[in-house]
Amino acid sequence: MLTIGMLGGMSWESSAEYYRLANEMVRERLGGLHSARCLLYSVDFAAVEAIQVEGRWDDAAELLADAARSLEAGGADLLLLCTNTMHKVADRVEEAVSIPFLHLVDATAAAVRHAGLESVGLLGTAFTMEQAFYRDRLAAHGLTVLVPGEEDRAVVHRVIYDELCVGVVKPTSREAYRQVIGWLVEAGADGIILGCTEIELLIGQDDSPVPVFPTTRLHVEAAVDRALGAREQ
């Protein structure tokens, strides 16, 4: 079994989900007392959030590249960047290490294409919904990407940072997200990408009339597939 390197802490609420899911998936596949071999490097999200707001993406890239190098030095065999938004600097992180980097958007797009869908609605932080790095990567896989209108994007973003990142889950926010999903479906979305790791704390398949694609789970599944594919017989 390979050792999965998790670069997280953005927020730790979502990184905890990465850790939990990886161990659950390994136990489900191998049985008994098996658990995932993994390393977790958790950054201080307050510092990262300030960098995001100030647009200092070069600083963000160097911070995460340093963390990635630490995971490789610690023995990680493959690397996950446990955040959607910070995939804006994924290329710089990948360049910093020699171990395989599993890109979250590629794992998500593969699941969407496997489901036979071509048009998806994207929920995430304002950075993810509004900037090109995420939508263009999805489009490169042949997908049409729809995002909410300006007011709805503000609601989705606020709930992530003010509530989900600090462990607050409100039924009123779930209903607001359901409404946004409904409008995306009306606009032509055949599926919904939960493009922020924390959103999976709030929204699931029961909240959408079309298939949802939980990026955290899909990312972890790709990592576990890779880790167990190389396990000793």
At 14-59, the pLDDT tens digits run 899 999 999 999 999 999 999 999 999 999 989 988 998 898 999 9
What backbone torsions phi and psi does residue 191 show, to the nearest 5 degrees? -160, 165
Tell me the mean pLDDT in the region 84-109: 95
- CB atoms closer than 10 angstroms to residue 101: 20
Report the domain count for the chain: 2
CATH code where residue 61 lies:
3.40.50.1860
What backbone torsions phi and psi does residue 162 show, to the nearest 5 degrees? -85, -20
123 and 79 part of one domain = no
At 112-148, the pLDDT tens digits run 999 999 999 999 999 999 999 999 999 999 999 999 9
196 counts as catalytic? yes
83 counts as catalytic? yes
Expressed in percent and rounded to 5, the helix, strand and coil fractions of the chain are: 60, 15, 30
118 and 208 part of one domain = yes
Q: Which structural domain range is residue 180 located in?
A: 105-214
State yes or no: pLDDT of 233 exceeds 70: no
Name the CA radius of gyration of the chain, rounded. 17
Do the Cβ atoms of 153 and 129 come closer than 8 Å?
Answer: yes
pLDDT at 52: 86
121 and 99 part of one domain = no
The full DSSP string for 110-171 is HHHHHTT--EEEEES-HHHHHSHHHHHHHHTTT-EEE---HHHHHHHHHHHHHTGGGT---H
Which member of 196, 197, 215, 216 is catalytic?
A: 196
At 148-181, the pLDDT tens digits run 999 999 999 999 999 998 889 999 999 999 999 9
47 and 125 part of one domain = no
111 and 18 part of one domain = no
Best CA proximity match to 8, nearest among 36, 44, 35: 44
Per the prediction, the chain carries an average pLDDT of 93
Which member of 38, 83, 108, 216 is catalytic?
A: 83
pLDDT at 231: 46
State yes or no: pLDDT of 210 exceeds 80: yes
Determine the Cα angle at 95 with ends 61 and 18, to 5°: 70
Distance CA 191, CA 42 (A): 31
CA distances from 33 to 1, 151, 195 (A): 14, 48, 32
- CB atoms closer than 10 angstroms to residue 35: 13
At 3-23, the pLDDT tens digits run 999 999 888 888 999 999 999
18 and 115 part of one domain = no
Best CA proximity match to 212, nearest among 182, 172, 171: 182
Distance CA 209, CA 44 (A): 36
Q: What is the DSSP letter of 101?
A: B
